[in-house]
Amino acid sequence: MELPQKVRWMQDIFWEYQRYFTFLKKVSRHEFRKNWFTRISTPILEKVELIKRSIWEETDIVSKEMYNVIDKKGRELVLKPESTAWIMRAYLENFLDEPQPVYLYYIEPHFRYERPQKWRYRQFNQIWAEIIWEFDSVLDAKAIYIWKSILDSIWLKWTFKVKINSIWTLKEREKYLEELKWFFSNKKQHLDETDLHRLETNPMRILDSKNPDTVELLKFAPKITDFLKKDSKEFYEKVKEYLDILNVEYVEDHTLVRWLDYYCHTVWEFVDFSWRSQDALGWWWRYDELSKTIWFKTAIPAVWFAFWAERLIEQIMEAWVKLKNKDEIQLYLIQLWDEAKKILLPLNIEARNKWLNSTLSLWTPSLKVQMKKANKINAKFVAIVWVMEAKNRVCQLKDMTAWTQEEIKLDNLLEYIIEKVWKDSLDFYDPARDFIINKPDITE
């Protein structure tokens, strides 16, 4: 019988990769909190009607990529492939009476049964942020600035560029779509099967084509910004003006679009300079009409922006950004006698309480085996307690970097190690201390 394996194209996240993921989450959380965002988590499972109403049935997400679940009552549920509809549903249920606009962010796993690619898994993590119930071009510019701040903070400055465009509103796009269809009407011989289908079902999607012939034709196709109405044009111009005020450089890309009906106005992407088909680090757009597609009576102005966590982690690693490993063992306690274990066990707990990364050997093989383990885990100091050391409450302390050894009293050991590794190396994060406001009196 074969050992169980993880589901294909899913992933285990651990060790170094987990450290980069944690770093990315902490930087993002810090930037969001500075800008008044609060965190929300939504269910992994939702009713399938929610995603079908918010995303067209003929899109790949609905027709091919969803993970469907039938529960015991025969109801069809879905593992969330994206979060915008989830957040709007949560907003309508919980936030209508709150002060507006509402700033929300989330760091969640998502699921799509799609063709795996580099940086793309069938379970993947996205970091999203939403601003709901506000229609102001300053928010578009501010969101781009926040995104840029995150990328700068994770040492990806100068590795990306910002592309922006406007797709205005559904009603305003009608004339443009007519012109786009007319432009390609006598050029269909240059389109592949995918683009021909897009031209018939959703012409906007042809602007996102990766077919080289189509890409070349698009250079001469009508530009969507040439069809902007007065209000939409003013909104777009203000976004660019605010970006200039914030010193955010950008380039206009008139082929940058999003194609669902409720998408509108500003769209943007952060892309790297790899020139790969999958070069986007993050993206954003408005979705003012989404609320109406999921049965709410009126449109609700809203914007969101997101990035694939795995994509950015790979980008950080490729940029040779090195992170501190707070899990490195600073003190490894070796006991070679049962009585020594009784002495070192409480010392190990005390070391942890003093923020020293310490671990205790739990069985008694030879000293040689234990020292090999100490080397393998890169312990900075090793304290060895034999029979006589236990009786005299001392240890033989090895400095694994300087290759020195000295005898230290166990009562002085922890303060000695703290002085050696400096307090900057200690982890002083304490959620119980940092988050709890009122300390309950457990003596009552």
Tokens linked to 383: 């304290």
CATH class of the domain comprising 15-168+228-318: alpha beta
For 272-317, the pLDDT digits (tens) are 887 666 788 888 889 998 999 888 999 999 998 899 899 999 889 9
What is the pTM (predicted TM-score) of this model? 0.86
Residues of the chain falling short of pLDDT 50: 436, 442, 444
Exposure of 187 by Cβ count < 10 A (0-12 exposed, 13-18 middle, 19+ buried)? middle
> Strand, helix or coil at 333?
strand
224 alpha-carbon distance from chain centroid: 31
For 177-235, the pLDDT digits (tens) are 999 999 999 999 999 999 998 888 888 888 888 899 999 999 999 988 888 889 999 99
Rounded Cα–Cα distance for residues 179 and 62 (Å) = 29
| pLDDT given for residue 424 in this prediction | 62
Which H or E run includes 87?
helix 84-94
176 with 227: CB under 8 angstroms? yes
| pLDDT given for residue 442 in this prediction | 47
Residue spans per domain, the chain: 15-168+228-318, 175-223, 331-425
Rounded Cα–Cα distance for residues 158 and 142 (Å) = 19
The HSE-up count of residue 191 (CA atoms within 13 Å, CB side) is: 22
195 with 214: CB under 8 angstroms? yes
DSSP state of 62: I
For 126-143, the pLDDT digits (tens) are 999 999 999 999 999 999
Q: Which amino acid, residue 129? A: A
Which H or E run includes 125?
strand 123-132
309 with 26: CB under 8 angstroms? no
Distant-in-sequence, close-in-space partners of 123: CB < 8 Å, separation ≥ 6:
9, 10, 11, 109, 110, 111
Strand 331-335, strand 381-385: pairing? parallel
Fold of 331-425: Rossmann fold (3.40.50)
- DSSP of 15-49, one letter per residue? HHHHHHHHHHHHHHHHHHHHTT-EE----SEEEHH
Q: Which amino acid, residue 355? A: W
Nearest to 199 by CA among 217, 177, 221: 177
Angle at 239 (CA atoms; ends 273, 28), nearest 5 degrees: 55
Nearest to 80 by CA among 104, 116, 44, 49: 44
Q: Which amino acid, residue 401? A: T
Strand 67-70, strand 38-39: pairing? unpaired
